[in-house]
Chains A and B, each alone.
Chain A
Amino acid sequence: MIRFSFCALLLGLCVPAFSQEKLIAGEYFGDLKARHLGPALMSGRVSDIELHPKNSNIVLIGSAGGGVWKSQDGGVRFTSIFDNYCQSIGVVTIDPSDPDNTYWVGTGETWTRNSVSAGDGIYKTSDGGKNWTKMGLEKTDRIASIQVHPKNPNIIYVAALGALWGNSDDRGVYKTEDGGKTWNKILFVNNTTGCSELVMDPTNPEVLYAAFWEFRRTAYSFSSGGINSALYKSTDGGKTWQKLQNGLPKGKLGRIAVTIAPSNPQIVYAVMETEKKEEKGLYRSDDGGSNWKFLNGDFGLTVRPFYFSRITVDPKNPEIITKAGLSGSISRDGGKTFKNLGSMHSDIHDIAFDPANSSKLFVATDGGLYRSLDGGSSLEMVEDLPLSQFYHVSTDNRNPFYVYGGLQDNNSWFGPSASPGGVEARDWELVGQGDGFRVFPHPTEPNVVYSEMQGAEAIWRFDVAKQQLKVVKPYPVDGDPKLRFNWNAAITTSKHNPNRLYAGSQFLHISEDRGDSWKKISPDLTTNDKTKQNQEESGGLSADNSGAENHCTIFTIAESPLTDQVIWVGTDDGNIQLTQDGGKTWTNLIKNITGLPAHTWCYHIEASVHGKEIAYAVFDGHAKNDYQAYVYKTTDFGKTWKPIVSNQIGSFVRNIQEDYVNQNLLFIGAENGLHISLDGGANWSAFTNNFPKVAVHYLELHAEKNSLIAATHGRGIIILDDISPLRNISESLLKSNLTFFDTKPFVISEKSNFGGTALSNQFVGDNPTSNAKISYFLPKRHTFGKMVAEIVDMNGNLVSKLEAGKLKGVNTIEWGFNALAPKVAKGKGFALAGAPTVKAGKYKVKISKGTEVFEKEIEVQYDPLSTFTLNERTEQQRITQELFNFIQDLAYFVYNIDQWDEKVEEFQKKNSAPNKNINKLGEELDALREKLVVTKGDNYVGAGEPQLREKLNDIYGTISSYFGAPSTTQIENINSLKKQFDTAKVDFEKIKAGNLKAFEKILEKNATVQKPVIVSFEEFLKL
């Protein structure tokens, strides 16, 4: 059988490592891994809550853009369980017949604001969220409800709201009777009207209520309501449906919220959006929907139906009702009167009562998940959900660099990319109000930050240090038309003038004095289509003129990093404009792009660092119901454009980032995550190493750190710390069993701190490593045979042992600049003596892989910003080495004592007759050891009094971990320790000359106990 094993092994080894197959980038990302910075301090929009029917510890939430999260501790801590799939969630449903294992997720959020993401179908897990299977309905765009038959889990009803941005027949009520293998559309109204809510009678699963909503959004308008909206009921499992009308308003209807009181299913509540203001509000039926009575039209019930149509009834009391809304409302008298829920983030989308305890409830808001233990009066935020929805990100050149960005409904912020103990909520600084979008640091004044709120209602210049806040937006002046700013208004700073600021309305505005004064440097660069400028009519049955539909505006501004005379501008109505003379003349280039549908939103232009004539343009058609990817490159100032994406992306795209070194290395921020091309856009691979399938709205590459920073719309800031290995991946690397990547010299970090303060229920963003990162490429995974890594000096002497990465593709070894630690004397308890830091200089990385050895020279440098002089370092290193030797000398000294003492004990055991001298020797050795190392006590408050070992290791640790020269006091302390050791040596010599010498003679004559074998110092170090 062993022969078979060897053959099988041989088979593995014989599969050609030198394959000539095409390099598929996605297979070679290896251990390149993204890290999540968060933050969770404002969290993000939660769209749906689902509670386990019997186990209060299980809480599931679906988020607007951050996937599905599960808590197993009653909502204190959450784990993301849906990273590999669409992160826009409409609904999460637990199968009532298998609540521990089977969940369904309907993707595509149904709170249809302008920035909403879309879904790609329905998913099921049968193991509590560890594995998921797509179960169809891919084209439904957004799913509002999933109802699973309580006795037959193969019967499932789905409310498909359907496409938001266009006509679609993929909407209505769907039913499966085979567990999702096949679906039948059992109620369809028309291609503009979808099912926005579906509820099932918990006592009779044949009874269903379905709300249908006629709705449409465009880039410049929103319409809620129409003659096709209605409330339906079925009493035969969806075979037939009856429109419910008796007592309900007539005419055009908008979005309808409907729910059944679980404790009395004859009681049904519905909140109606209607044509007549006085008919808007809450209706109640006490006879299963046959007759309805109007109860209440309070603001909390009627506000923004497209965003807040969810009503929930206490599972035990049919008279207690909660309604989602601006603040969330609760009624304790069956809907006659309402009051607001307690203080929390505004914009409430769902409320869920704990089935076992109605006083405990969870609330889904635009700012995360809240929980209440007193029926909604007091609420505490869940601090473990990094669902923040960034629109943009920029960075600075501090070390560590900071990131700046604005959040959907959650202000503008900046925070560090690293912080002691990890990046906590307290590390983030507030620099804007309202919906936050683009935030930029002043290029040369680190305390000055620009930020904005929706529609450029304000553009702020904020001096963080002085806490001075000034609105610096462009205003219309004499002769100007109304300035049209996008909801997410284009502003940017300049690479050429630190005080320059650009802002885009329909005109391009420029300020050379940090926003204090402005001038227009363009005509109207948009199509200025008046039919797309009727935002005050937006909303349909409920006016909704929030600025979210502002259109015919400049959306992206890209000043060439090579010359400020070249400026590219893209507009939301599909123009791409270029000036090559600093704004004196402009050319509309859109006609030069072929294959792009007219008036497709120009979402981003990237002006290349590789040539002023080079630029990339990204167009996003999703607001026209077009989910294709449109990314183009020009190399001739826009005269011609070449498409550089294929259907490999699988969704629409918002952003592109070029590498500053390798022109062929490109990054795309798409609705479905991050994609990377190594060949200039011919082929793309999704990057999924700790990078969820989340919408990426903006990408920024930090030129100095080579860090790719992604502004995601649902999972906060995600950073890929060092993309430089990707610059060098090519098919030629497949020809060698291991190839090192070149690296810049590594800088030894001299920082130390006391760590963070976050509690275990709070999200903490990952820190980057401060270690040296040695990267190499393996053409295939290392599975069989030994593979180890070492750092050696230039003479080949071992400096440090490391763990080798063994993955296919990019591998990274981290080295903390440590040499080997000293060998410490044996004693009771711990007396740590860590490894000293190496000196600056050249070293080699040596990797042994099977019989092959690969070496790479690396360089280590001291921090150039350090305040320590070379002389101070030299002194620190000298004393550290002296102490290092001292520790090992002491260890060997104690070893000698121990070896003799063991023989004394052995002799005493084997010879029952007392020998006074030998007993005395044992006492002398014990007494000597007790002065050298702790020999009793524990590792906490029962620890023994520190002895020479402990004192020595303490001063060694203090001096070796600091990079400056030791103090005089420290030197004096070392001298004192040396004297103690000298005294001990003298004492040992006395013992040797006395009782030990006699003992040695006894052992020479004794057959039962041998003299101790004491190895040399060098051999001892190897033990």
Chain B
Amino acid sequence: MKKLIFLFLGFAWIIAVRAQNVDEIITAYSQTIGGKNWDAVKGMRMTANVEQGGMKIPVEVVTMKDGRMFTKITFMGNTMTMAAFDGEKSWSTNFMTMEPEEGTAETSENSKRSMKEFPNALINYKNLGYSATLLGSEKIDGTDCHKIKLDKKTMLVEGQEVPNVEFYYLDKENNVPVLVESEIKEGEMKGKISQTKFSDYQEISGVFIPYSTSSGIKDGESQVIQFEKVEINPTVDDKDFKFPKK
């Protein structure tokens, strides 16, 4: 077995030193995080306790292969849905009234367009009809990365179809994304670049998941979520996704 591993390492090294094309990079990424093992994954529940100034805020993120998702936080005994999508409608809890409110039709439409991306858009890009282009190499915080442009067709923004593009930076040494960037399309931050950084990849049920994500604006503030527990194929009540009837 030991010999086999070394043989494999030697082989992998050969792959690493020659130029890779975009599909080889994505395949290496897919294999690194579990490859076919993802076929058995129908959904994930990720839980964290975000510390805000010493206050513990439990966070629950559920994403399903069929595109449904919700993110809930619990604060002072009040559980609120930060974002949810039931396959048709996106919605969230209004913090003032603590009542559910439906997202805009555009938000729901854009969620529908991306509902088949699980576990992520890059790995599934061909099936989704997206295009991926290797733009070259770039150092991210000193780490050598492949830079891949993922063109996800278009999204709706203020009534217009606009390009929906993400840039993936995959650590060359480890074959996993450490950063994903995209342009913010609306609101006061329109035109700024949003960044999500990934680390703490850990194995669960044969797949690797980044247990730590940091989301923010490029060169600005960011919020880290360090997930403590990940459940594969969790039992989830359908009503947690559904926009509640008032």
A interface residues (Cβ-Cβ under 8 A, vs B): 1-2, 4-5, 7-12, 14-15, 26-31, 33, 70-73, 77-79, 81, 101, 127-128, 130-131, 690, 760, 780-788, 800-803, 806-809, 816, 818-821, 824-836, 938-940, 942
Counting from the closest, the 3 A-B pairs by CB-CB distance are: A835-B54, A826-B77, A27-B142
Given A781-B143, A786-B200: 4 more A-B contacts, CB < 8 Å = A781-B141, A781-B171, A830-B78, A942-B97
Cβ of B183 under 8 Å from chain A: yes
Cβ of B126 under 8 Å from chain A: no
Q: Contact between A807 and B142 (Cβ–Cβ < 8 Å)?
A: yes
Q: Contact between B76 and A829 (Cβ–Cβ < 8 Å)?
A: yes
Over the window 10-33 of chain B, the binary record of Cβ atoms lying under 8 Å from chain A Cβ atoms (1 yes, 0 no) is 001100000000000000100111
From known contacts A786-B200, A786-B202, infer whether A939 and B96 are also in contact, taking CB-CB under 8 Å: yes
**Residues in A neighbouring B212, C-beta threshold 8 A:** 787, 806
**Residues in A neighbouring B51, C-beta threshold 8 A:** 800-802
**C-alpha spacing A70/B191, complex, angstroms:** 8
**Residues in A neighbouring B141, C-beta threshold 8 A:** 29-31, 781, 807-809
**C-alpha spacing A1/B202, complex, angstroms:** 16
Q: Which residue of A lies closest to B32 (CB)?
A: A8
**C-alpha spacing A835/B52, complex, angstroms:** 9
**Residues in A neighbouring B143, C-beta threshold 8 A:** 27, 780-781, 807-808
Over the window 71-108 of chain B, the binary record of Cβ atoms lying under 8 Å from chain A Cβ atoms (1 yes, 0 no) is 00001111000000000000000011110000000000
Q: Contact between A939 and B142 (Cβ–Cβ < 8 Å)?
A: no
Nearest chain B CB to A419 CB, angstrom units: 17
Nearest chain B CB to A697 CB, angstrom units: 22
From known contacts A760-B188, A803-B224, A827-B77, infer whether A818 and B53 are also in contact, taking CB-CB under 8 Å: yes
Q: Contact between A127 and B78 (Cβ–Cβ < 8 Å)?
A: no
Tell which of A79, A783, A785 touches B178, judged by Cβ atoms closer than 8 Å. Answer: A783
Q: Contact between A127 and B139 (Cβ–Cβ < 8 Å)?
A: no
Q: Contact between B142 and A26 (Cβ–Cβ < 8 Å)?
A: yes
Over the window 200-240 of chain B, the binary record of Cβ atoms lying under 8 Å from chain A Cβ atoms (1 yes, 0 no) is 11110010100110100001000010100000000000000
Q: Contact between B165 and A825 (Cβ–Cβ < 8 Å)?
A: no
21 residue pairs of the A-B complex, CB under 8 angstroms, read A1-B35, A7-B12, A8-B12, A11-B13, A14-B9, A30-B142, A77-B191, A78-B191, A127-B163, A128-B183, A130-B193, A781-B142, A784-B200, A787-B199, A800-B51, A821-B56, A826-B77, A828-B98, A829-B98, A830-B78, A939-B98
Tell which of A31, A130, A786 touches B183, judged by Cβ atoms closer than 8 Å. Answer: A130
Cβ of B118 under 8 Å from chain A: no
Tell which of B9, B28, B188 touches A77, judged by Cβ atoms closer than 8 Å. Answer: B188
**C-alpha spacing A189/B203, complex, angstroms:** 68
Nearest chain B CB to A474 CB, angstrom units: 44
Q: Which residue of A lies closest to B186 (CB)?
A: A72
Nearest chain B CB to A640 CB, angstrom units: 36
**C-alpha spacing A29/B167, complex, angstroms:** 23
Q: Contact between B142 and A834 (Cβ–Cβ < 8 Å)?
A: no
Most buried by A among B12, B76, B165, B174: B76
Cβ of B34 under 8 Å from chain A: yes
Q: Contact between B77 and A821 (Cβ–Cβ < 8 Å)?
A: no
Q: Contact between B31 and A4 (Cβ–Cβ < 8 Å)?
A: yes
**Residues in B neighbouring A818, C-beta threshold 8 A:** 53-54
**Residues in B neighbouring A31, C-beta threshold 8 A:** 141
Q: Contact between B55 and A11 (Cβ–Cβ < 8 Å)?
A: no
**Residues in B neighbouring A829, C-beta threshold 8 A:** 76, 78, 98
**C-alpha spacing A165/B183, complex, angstroms:** 40
Over the window 127-150 of chain B, the binary record of Cβ atoms lying under 8 Å from chain A Cβ atoms (1 yes, 0 no) is 000000001000101110000010
Tell which of A5, A11, A70, A787 touches B208, judged by Cβ atoms closer than 8 Å. Answer: A5
Nearest chain A CB to B172 CB, angstrom units: 10
Chain B: how many interface residues by the 8 Å CB criterion? 60
Nearest chain B CB to A707 CB, angstrom units: 18
Cβ of B66 under 8 Å from chain A: no
From known contacts A72-B191, A77-B188, A786-B202, infer whether A130 and B96 are also in contact, taking CB-CB under 8 Å: no
Q: Which residue of B lies closest to A70 (CB)?
A: B191
**Residues in A neighbouring B35, C-beta threshold 8 A:** 1-2, 4-5
**C-alpha spacing A213/B141, complex, angstroms:** 45
Nearest chain B CB to A13 CB, angstrom units: 9
**Residues in A neighbouring B171, C-beta threshold 8 A:** 781, 783
Q: Contact between B201 and A784 (Cβ–Cβ < 8 Å)?
A: yes
**Residues in B neighbouring A833, C-beta threshold 8 A:** 55
**C-alpha spacing A820/B200, complex, angstroms:** 24
**Residues in B neighbouring A836, C-beta threshold 8 A:** 54
Q: Contact between B76 and A2 (Cβ–Cβ < 8 Å)?
A: no
Q: Contact between B53 and A821 (Cβ–Cβ < 8 Å)?
A: yes
Cβ of B245 under 8 Å from chain A: no
**C-alpha spacing A280/B143, complex, angstroms:** 58
Q: Contact between B167 and A130 (Cβ–Cβ < 8 Å)?
A: yes
From known contacts A4-B31, A27-B142, A130-B193, infer whether A12 and B174 are also in contact, taking CB-CB under 8 Å: yes
Nearest chain B CB to A909 CB, angstrom units: 18
Nearest chain A CB to B233 CB, angstrom units: 17
**C-alpha spacing A77/B8, complex, angstroms:** 53
**C-alpha spacing A73/B135, complex, angstroms:** 29
**Residues in A neighbouring B193, C-beta threshold 8 A:** 130
Cβ of B37 under 8 Å from chain A: yes
Q: Contact between B135 and A2 (Cβ–Cβ < 8 Å)?
A: no
Cβ of B192 under 8 Å from chain A: yes
Nearest chain A CB to B94 CB, angstrom units: 9
Q: Which residue of B lies closest to A807 (CB)?
A: B141
Tell which of A28, A70, A938 touches B98, judged by Cβ atoms closer than 8 Å. Answer: A938
**Residues in A neighbouring B54, C-beta threshold 8 A:** 800, 818-821, 834-836
**Residues in B neighbouring A29, C-beta threshold 8 A:** 141-142
**Residues in B neighbouring A800, C-beta threshold 8 A:** 51, 54
Nearest chain A CB to B71 CB, angstrom units: 18
**Residues in A neighbouring B53, C-beta threshold 8 A:** 816, 818, 821, 834-835
Q: Contact between B56 and A8 (Cβ–Cβ < 8 Å)?
A: no
Most buried by B among A73, A101, A784, A821: A784
Nearest chain B CB to A94 CB, angstrom units: 16
**C-alpha spacing A824/B56, complex, angstroms:** 11
**C-alpha spacing A30/B75, complex, angstroms:** 34
**Residues in A neighbouring B176, C-beta threshold 8 A:** 783
From known contacts A824-B76, A834-B54, infer whether A2 and B96 are also in contact, taking CB-CB under 8 Å: no
Over the window 147-188 of chain B, the binary record of Cβ atoms lying under 8 Å from chain A Cβ atoms (1 yes, 0 no) is 001000000000000010101000101111010000100001
Nearest chain A CB to B206 CB, angstrom units: 5
Most buried by B among A27, A780, A786: A786
Cβ of B190 under 8 Å from chain A: yes
Q: Contact between A783 and B174 (Cβ–Cβ < 8 Å)?
A: yes
**Residues in A neighbouring B200, C-beta threshold 8 A:** 782-787, 806
Q: Which residue of B lies closest to A36 (CB)?
A: B219
**Residues in B neighbouring A824, C-beta threshold 8 A:** 76-77
Nearest chain B CB to A428 CB, angstrom units: 22
Tell which of A11, A28, A101 touches B142, judged by Cβ atoms closer than 8 Å. Answer: A28
**Residues in B neighbouring A28, C-beta threshold 8 A:** 142
Nearest chain B CB to A567 CB, angstrom units: 41
Q: Contact between B211 and A831 (Cβ–Cβ < 8 Å)?
A: no
**C-alpha spacing A942/B219, complex, angstroms:** 39
Q: Contact between A782 and B32 (Cβ–Cβ < 8 Å)?
A: no
Q: Contact between A5 and B142 (Cβ–Cβ < 8 Å)?
A: no
Nearest chain B CB to A364 CB, angstrom units: 20
Q: Which residue of B lies closest to A820 (CB)?
A: B54
Q: Contact between A785 and B55 (Cβ–Cβ < 8 Å)?
A: no
**Residues in A neighbouring B33, C-beta threshold 8 A:** 5
Most buried by A among B35, B142, B175, B226: B142
Q: Contact between A11 and B199 (Cβ–Cβ < 8 Å)?
A: no
Cβ of B42 under 8 Å from chain A: no
Q: Contact between A828 and B78 (Cβ–Cβ < 8 Å)?
A: yes
**Residues in A neighbouring B206, C-beta threshold 8 A:** 2, 5
**Residues in B neighbouring A27, C-beta threshold 8 A:** 139, 142-143
**C-alpha spacing A475/B151, complex, angstroms:** 67
**C-alpha spacing A844/B226, complex, angstroms:** 21
Tell which of B76, B95, B208 touches A831, judged by Cβ atoms closer than 8 Å. Answer: B76
From known contacts A30-B141, A835-B55, infer whether A73 and B190 are also in contact, taking CB-CB under 8 Å: yes
